[in-house]
Amino acid sequence: MRPSVSHPPIRQRLARRPVPKLPPETSFKDAFVEALQEDRRQEEKKIGPLRRGVKRLRFSWFVVGLETVGLISLIFAAGLFIYELRERQEERIARSWQLATTPAPGNSGKREALEYLNSQYGCFPDAIVYLFGLRCWKERTPLQGIDMSASANGGQVFLQGVNLSGANLEGANLSGANLVSADLSKSNANNANLSGADLSRATITWAHLRSANLRGATLAHTKLAFSDLSSANLSQAKLISADLFSVSLWFANLSGAHLQYVNLSDASLSQTKFDENTIFRIWAFRDQPPTAETHEIVRLVATRERDELWDTFHKRVYRDRPDLRWPSTPPGVTVHSLVPETLPSASD
C-alpha cells in the first residue's frame, strides 16, 4: 500500500495566502470628480495638438491679462460716454433757460423750452436710488419765480397747450400769458401770479394754488377738480362752465367773479369772500353739496341729480328756480358744451 501523505490543516493554508487589498470606499463627490477628469482626458486624446495648444493659451495668464485690460478700457469708455451725455444735457438745460428767460413776445420757442425743463425721464429702480442716490437721468428743473408776464416780455407770451404737469411754479409770474388748453395738473403754483391769464380749457386738477393771484383770469371750461385754491385771489375772474369739483376755496376772494354754470360739488367755501358784483349761476350734485358757513351761498346752488342730463337740468332750473335768474339758453355757447357729463374721480 501507498503511504499516506499528511496535509496541513485548512487554517494554516489560508493563513499562508496573501490578503487581497480592497478598494477604498469613495464618496459620490470623489467619483463625480474622477468621472469629469476621465472625460476631459478622453476629450484631449480626440483633439489634435494644435487645438490643445490653443486651449492652453486661452487660459494662460497673458490672455487673461489682455481680457482684463480690455474690460477696464470698456468701463473707462462707458464712463466717458456717460460724462459726455451729461455735459450735453447740462448745455441743453442752459440753452432752454436762456430761451425761456429772454424777453420775447408771442411764440418764440418758450413753450418747448419750458416743457424740456419740466421733463423727467430715465428714472431708475428704488435699489439704484438707494445705492447711488441717482433717481432719474433727467430730473425736473424747478421753474420757481420764472417771469413769463406780458409786461416783462413786451407782449403776450403764447404757451398754448404747454405741458407743465407736476411743475414747480411757486412764485412764477405768468400774468397775461396765453395758457389755453395747458396742462398744469399736479403742479405747485403757490403764490404764483396768473392775473389776466387765459386758462380756457386748461387742466389744473390736483394742483396747489394757495395764495395765487388769478385776478381777471379767464377760466372758461377749465378743470380745477381737487385743487387747493385757499386764500387765492379770484376777483373778477371769469369762471364760465368751470369744474370746481371738491375744490378748497378757504379764504379765497371771489369778489366780482363770474361764476356761470360752475360745478361746485363737494367744494369747500368756508370763509370765502363774495360781494354784490359776484355773478352766481352755480350748481352741484344733490348728494354732494358745497360746504359753507353761511346758508346764503347754499341757497344759490342749483341741485342736480346724478343721472340727470344737462339739457333737462338746465330747463328745470329755468322753470322751477326763477330766483336764480338762469337764462333759458346761455348766451354765446351751446347747451351741450356747458359742463362735461363725466367728472374726474379721486384716483385720476
CB 281 within 8 A of CB 326: yes
The pLDDT score that the predictor gives to residue 310 is 85
With a pLDDT cut of 70, the percent of the chain lying above it is 78
The C-alpha atoms of residue 170 and residue 30 are separated, in whole angstroms, by 73
With a pLDDT cut of 90, the percent of the chain lying above it is 43
Closest CA to 103 of 161, 146, 160: 146
| Class level of CATH domain 143-348 | mainly beta
Q: At what angle do helices 61-101 and 110-118 cross, to 10 degrees?
A: 140
Question: Can you read off the three cell numbers belonging to residue 224?
Answer: 380745477
Let me know the angle formed at the C-alpha of 183 by 291 and 109, rounded to the nearest 5 degrees.
150
- Cα atoms in the Cβ-side hemisphere of radius 13 Å centred on 111: 19
Q: Which residue has the higher pLDDT, 328 or 22?
A: 328
Predicted confidence band at 33 (pLDDT cuts at 50, 70, 90)?
confident
Given a cut of 60, is residue 6 above it in pLDDT? Answer: no
DSSP, res 287: T
Given a cut of 50, is residue 61 above it in pLDDT? Answer: yes
Q: Phi/psi zone of residue 304: left (φ > 0), alpha (ψ -120 to 50 degrees), beta?
A: beta
Question: Can you read off the three cell numbers belonging to residue 128?
Answer: 439704484
Predicted confidence band at 328 (pLDDT cuts at 50, 70, 90)?
confident
Given a cut of 70, is residue 22 above it in pLDDT? Answer: no
Closest CA to 164 of 150, 143, 134, 147: 143
Predicted confidence band at 340 (pLDDT cuts at 50, 70, 90)?
very low
Average pLDDT on 22-34 reads: 67
The pLDDT score that the predictor gives to residue 204 is 96
User: pLDDT for 235-287, tens place per residue?
Assistant: 999 999 999 999 999 999 999 999 989 999 999 988 899 888 888 889 999 99
Max CA pair span of the chain: 160
Given a cut of 50, is residue 347 above it in pLDDT? Answer: no
End-to-end CA distance of the chain: 125
> What is the average pLDDT value for the chain, to the nearest integer?
82
The C-alpha atoms of residue 98 and residue 135 are separated, in whole angstroms, by 26
Predicted confidence band at 336 (pLDDT cuts at 50, 70, 90)?
very low
Alpha-carbon distances of 284 from 169, 228, 313, rounded to whole Å:
31, 18, 11
**Contacts for 249 with CB less than 8 Å, ≥ 6 apart:** 229, 230, 232, 267, 268, 269, 272
Predicted confidence band at 63 (pLDDT cuts at 50, 70, 90)?
confident
Domain boundaries, the chain: 143-348
Average pLDDT on 70-98 reads: 85
Given a cut of 90, is residue 211 above it in pLDDT? Answer: yes
The radius of gyration computed from the CA coordinates of the chain, to the nearest angstrom, equals 41
Average pLDDT on 21-28 reads: 60
The C-alpha atoms of residue 268 and residue 260 are separated, in whole angstroms, by 18
| Residues in a beta bridge with 281 | 260
Continuous H helices in 274-309: 295-298
Report which secondary-structure segment, H or E, holds 284.
strand 279-285
The C-alpha atoms of residue 25 and residue 234 are separated, in whole angstroms, by 94
Report which secondary-structure segment, H or E, holds 89.
helix 61-101
- Give the number of other CB atoms < 10 A from CB of residue 124: 14
Let me know the angle formed at the C-alpha of 42 by 41 and 46, rounded to the nearest 5 degrees.
115
Average pLDDT on 300-323 reads: 89
The pLDDT score that the predictor gives to residue 263 is 93
Alpha-carbon distances of 160 from 134, 187, 200, 333, rounded to whole Å:
33, 17, 10, 22
